[in-house]
Amino acid sequence: MHHPVDTAELDAGLERAAGLLRAAERLAVLTGAGVSAESGLATFRGAGGLWEGQRVEDVATPRAFRRDPALVWRFYHARRAALASVRPNPGHLALAELERRLGPEHFTLITQNVDGLHRAAGSEHVLELHGNLRRVRCTGCGHVEERPDEDLPDLPHCDDCRGMLRPDIVWFHEVLPEDVWEAAALATAQCDCFLVVGTSAVVYPAAGLIDAARAVGAAVIEINLEATPATLPGTVALRGKSGEILPRLLELVEQPPSPG
């Protein structure tokens, strides 16, 4: 149950957050499934983290793929198909506008999402920690391909080596892509403001970036429907939908600060 949004509290929080964003020299943003909820994509823990009655943590693993590749591919075919009917929402668009306003050298968008909606909204400097549903990777020769808008065979194989293809996604128990992780950790270590949007902050190492930002003294702003482990004393917590809050925040950042 989400607390009814207290507008006076939200308004005050938005003013504080806008002041922090205006003053930010280097902003890092971490997004999770909540930023795509208003585009119609289910979040992980919103649906109780279940898919066909199984925990996502049990389906999105190398072991599940070895044991039953057809079941794991069914999970990804369904999510790839869902992408055909979703569009970026005003939250994605506001983040792309914020990047343009601050300049890509002062702005890094780190996402746990695999839906590609940040790039579709025009964000350029995007670090996809967990891969992307549009890409597949060969388990034989390692060849990676963009296969965005097609219905793949139930069990797709590589044209080059006939090896089994897998989604180019980081599963549980798998390490994140080294270069992407390094870039995300560096952007976090260098930031003076860290904006966390729509994540339950329970999946590591991504969630660890929030602690890392705090450790370097960055101001932390959180946009979420409810409190999460990221909601610590000192966090500017903005309670509500990211598709509504982010455009309001951008508007305030673009206005000169109210006098006094």
Looking at 28, 170, 213, 238, which residue binds ligand BV8 (CB under 6 A)? 170
Longest dimension (CA), the chain: 68
> φ and ψ at 107, to 5 degrees?
-145, 125
Looking at 114, 138, 213, 237, which residue binds Zn ion (CB under 5 A)? 138
Q: Which is nearer to ligand BV8, 24 or 130 (CB)?
A: 130
CA distances from 235 to 18, 80, 165, 185, 202 (A): 14, 35, 42, 20, 17
Angle CA(25)–CA(29)–CA(31) in degrees, nearest 5? 175
Q: Which is nearer to ligand BV8, 37 or 237 (CB)?
A: 37
Contact call for residue 173 and ligand BV8 (CB under 6 A) = yes
> What region, left, alpha or beta, does residue 10 occupy, with left being phi > 0 and alpha being psi -120 to 50 degrees?
alpha
- Residue that the structure tokens 């963009």 belong to: 146
In whole angstroms, the minimum distance from the beta carbon of 197 to ligand BV8 comes to 7
Return the residue nearest ligand BV8 (CB atom). Answer: 34
Contact call for residue 132 and ligand BV8 (CB under 6 A) = no
Polymer length in residues for the chain: 260
- Give the Cβ contact number of residue 151 at 10 Å: 11
Q: Which is nearer to Zn ion, 160 or 182 (CB)?
A: 160
Q: Which of residues 139-198 bind Zn ion (CB under 5 A)?
A: 140-141, 143, 158, 160-161, 163
Residues 188 and 218: their CA atoms lie apart, in Å, by: 9
Contact call for residue 90 and ligand BV8 (CB under 6 A) = no
Of the candidates 92, 130, 143, 157, the residue annotated as catalytic is: 130
Residues 196 and 216: their CA atoms lie apart, in Å, by: 16
Q: Which of residues 91-120 bind ligand BV8 (CB under 6 A)?
A: 112-114
Residues 111 and 113: their CA atoms lie apart, in Å, by: 5
- Least Cα distance to 15 among 221, 213, 216 occurs for 221
Looking at 169, 213, 221, 250, which residue binds ligand BV8 (CB under 6 A)? 169
Give yes or no: 173 in active site. no
Q: Which of residues 199-258 bind ligand BV8 (CB under 6 A)?
A: 199-200, 202-204, 223-226, 228, 241-243
Size of the site for ligand BV8 (CB under 6 A): 36
Contact call for residue 30 and ligand BV8 (CB under 6 A) = no
Residues 105 and 119: their CA atoms lie apart, in Å, by: 17
Q: Which is nearer to ligand BV8, 27 or 169 (CB)?
A: 169
Residues 140 and 160: their CA atoms lie apart, in Å, by: 9
Contact call for residue 58 and ligand BV8 (CB under 6 A) = no
Exposure on the CB side of residue 36, measured as CA atoms within 13 A:
25
Contact positions vs ligand BV8 (CB under 6 A): 32-34, 37-38, 43-46, 57, 60, 112-114, 130, 169-175, 198-200, 202-204, 223-226, 228, 241-243
Residues marked as catalytic: 130
Contact positions vs Zn ion (CB under 5 A): 138, 140-141, 143, 158, 160-161, 163
